[in-house]
Chains A and B, each alone.
Chain A
Amino acid sequence: MAEECDGGGALAGLRGFVRAAVVSAASDWDRAGMLPEGILAELGRRGWLASFLEPAEGGVGLDMVAYGRLHEELGCGCSSLRCAVTAHDMVAVAVRRWGEVGQRQRWLSRLARGEVVGAFALSESGAGSDVSAMRTVARREGDRFVLDGKKRWVTNGLRAGVFLVFARTAEGAGAFLVPRDTPGLTLSPMEPLLGTRAVGISEVTFEGCRLAPEALVGGVRAGLRFVLPAALALGRYAIACGCLGMARACLDAAIEHAGRPSASGVSLSSHQLVCRMIARMVAGVRAAGLLCRACGASLEAGAPGSVPEAALAKYFASGVAREVTADAVQIFGGEGCLQGNIVERFFRDAKVMEIIEGANEVLELVIARHGIHEYLAMAGGEGRD
């Protein structure tokens, strides 16, 4: 991975960029509750937004394994920045997969360059992981749709130029591309979150927003069955890789800290109970890395199992991130509880990862069903995907 991120190819210079421009500033962004102006455009100039798009679409054509490595490296530096890229890319993948030619031409290259930031507007008060409870509606008026409702916890909301909004229609649930300057769309920042505070989370209210017919992505019944799962598969994979990155960063920091001699001349790593924590951290990071790579390969192959595999990777890696960041705080002791210490920031960030893009309890249902389906396939004489 070091070779890919430090050497040639689309990820060239990534690790150096994260060290120089992200790690050193991430705590300040966290305190300010906002990423700096222009950081996403800078990633776009480097080819790291919607990077899976082919060059003809405006991207750099990263395969899914390399895409995961991009998110892992960003995750090592700043979860808020990684989350911003993930949400942006979820809009891009939905448009690429299910958009009309005109929608793809209008949005994809601008999303890849960072000229327009994308935001994914799904969650509502009382309708988070349970999207069936969604109350935002889009009613037909002639050839147009009129959108009314309120979305919450919208990542990138405050800086977005386009929102992918999920709403009920008379025929089913649809997904709509809504430009920020649409009359009737208003934004308001939400209270600071426990973690990923710099991501710019917001509420978005739609009051009589009149949408052109070309706002609809994939058809009027395609929102929850086709558009959402395609975006979630990418998003969950990206979160898994970001969790791997933050766990790796905390493991490195904890090992470095534990190796320092204390005032009495004894290092923490000479204590067996600290070594046990480090052993668990190493095992978790290694295992999460293997799951992420397997998921990336499955997504790249377009395997049907890649959709639940992404849920599995996110479920496992976010659990590892929670445990590893907590152990890192424990090893740092009082220093680890100070704002400004990366393990303190990542400890708060990690908890959020167990909730977003499908709470882990919901993902357990997905993973269990996938396990049953695989068993039935094997019992029926088929292989795994």
Chain B
Amino acid sequence: MTRAVEGDCDPRSAIRAFLRRFIAQPIGDGDDIFNLGHVDSLFAIQLVLFLEREFAIKVENRDLDLDNFRSVEMMAAFIGKKRGVAH
């Protein structure tokens, strides 16, 4: 997978590409992926590893709020917050 450059403005496309592996049906950027019922018990930790590696951030224990990871929009906002960038 092509890594997003640290300074990239919009992480949404890389997130969408990652999610397409796990969720076959089309999803919108605001859809709650945990409520769609298509992800298993190992998905969340894989998502964390993906976000850390792809966007060079560190997900810490205080970040373990599902609201940071529920949708493409929420993840983009979370990455922006970790990088100190507003989306």
Other A-B contacts than A218-B61, A218-B64, 10 sampled, CB-CB below 8 A, are A98-B64, A221-B64, A225-B64, A302-B53, A304-B46, A304-B50, A306-B49, A308-B46, A376-B21, A382-B1
| Between-chain CB contacts (< 8 Å), 27 pairs | A98-B61, A131-B41, A217-B61, A219-B64, A219-B65, A221-B65, A221-B66, A222-B64, A225-B64, A225-B66, A226-B48, A226-B64, A229-B44, A302-B52, A304-B18, A304-B46, A304-B49, A305-B46, A307-B42, A307-B45, A307-B46, A308-B42, A311-B42, A374-B21, A376-B24, A377-B20, A380-B21
The answer to whether A304 and B41 touch (CB under 8 A), given A219-B65, A221-B66, A222-B64, is: no
Q: What's the dominant secondary structure at chain B's contact region? A: helix
Determine the distance from Cα of A374 to Cα of B18 in the docked complex, in whole angstroms.
10
At the interface, yes or no: B47 with Cβ under 8 Å from chain A?
yes
Q: Which A residues, 352 to 385, have Cβ-Cβ distances below 8 Å to chain B?
A: 365-366, 369, 373-374, 376-377, 380, 382-383, 385
Query: Which B residues are CB-close (under 8 A) to A219?
Result: 61-62, 64-65
Query: Which A residues are CB-close (under 8 A) to B47?
Result: 304
Most chain B CB within 10 A, of A217, A230, A307, is at: A307
**Chain A residues in contact with chain B, CB under 8 A?**
98-100, 131, 217-219, 221-222, 224-226, 228-230, 233, 301-308, 311, 365-366, 369, 373-374, 376-377, 380, 382-383, 385
CB < 8 Å A-B pair total: 77
Query: Which B residues are CB-close (under 8 A) to A218?
Result: 61, 64
At the interface, yes or no: B40 with Cβ under 8 Å from chain A?
yes
**From residue B64, how far is it (CB to closest CB) to chain A in Å?**
4
Q: What's the dominant secondary structure at chain A's contact region? A: helix
Residue of A nearest to B1 (CB): A382
Determine the distance from Cα of A225 to Cα of B65 in the docked complex, in whole angstroms.
11
Are A226 and B44 neighbours in the complex by a CB distance under 8 Å?
yes
Residue of A nearest to B69 (CB): A225
At the interface, yes or no: B36 with Cβ under 8 Å from chain A?
no
Are B44 and A366 neighbours in the complex by a CB distance under 8 Å?
no
The answer to whether A100 and B61 touch (CB under 8 A), given A225-B44, A366-B42, is: yes
Q: How large is the interface on B (under 10, 10 to 19, 20 to 34, 35 or more residues)?
A: 20 to 34
Are B21 and A373 neighbours in the complex by a CB distance under 8 Å?
yes
Determine the distance from Cα of A382 to Cα of B47 in the docked complex, in whole angstroms.
16
Determine the distance from Cα of A365 to Cα of B20 in the docked complex, in whole angstroms.
19
Are A233 and B45 neighbours in the complex by a CB distance under 8 Å?
yes
Are B1 and A383 neighbours in the complex by a CB distance under 8 Å?
yes
**From residue A295, how far is it (CB to closest CB) to chain B in Å?**
14
Are A226 and B45 neighbours in the complex by a CB distance under 8 Å?
yes
The answer to whether A225 and B61 touch (CB under 8 A), given A302-B52, A306-B49, A376-B24, is: no
Residue of A nearest to B22 (CB): A373
Query: Which A residues are CB-close (under 8 A) to B61?
Result: 98-100, 217-219, 222
**From residue B26, how far is it (CB to closest CB) to chain A in Å?**
13
Determine the distance from Cα of A219 to Cα of B42 in the docked complex, in whole angstroms.
17
At the interface, yes or no: B5 with Cβ under 8 Å from chain A?
no
Determine the distance from Cα of A324 to Cα of B61 in the docked complex, in whole angstroms.
42
Query: Which A residues are CB-close (under 8 A) to B17?
Result: 380, 382
Determine the distance from Cα of A118 to Cα of B21 in the docked complex, in whole angstroms.
36
Determine the distance from Cα of A311 to Cα of B47 in the docked complex, in whole angstroms.
17
Query: Which B residues are CB-close (under 8 A) to A311?
Result: 42
Most chain A CB within 10 A, of B18, B21, B46, B47, is at: B21
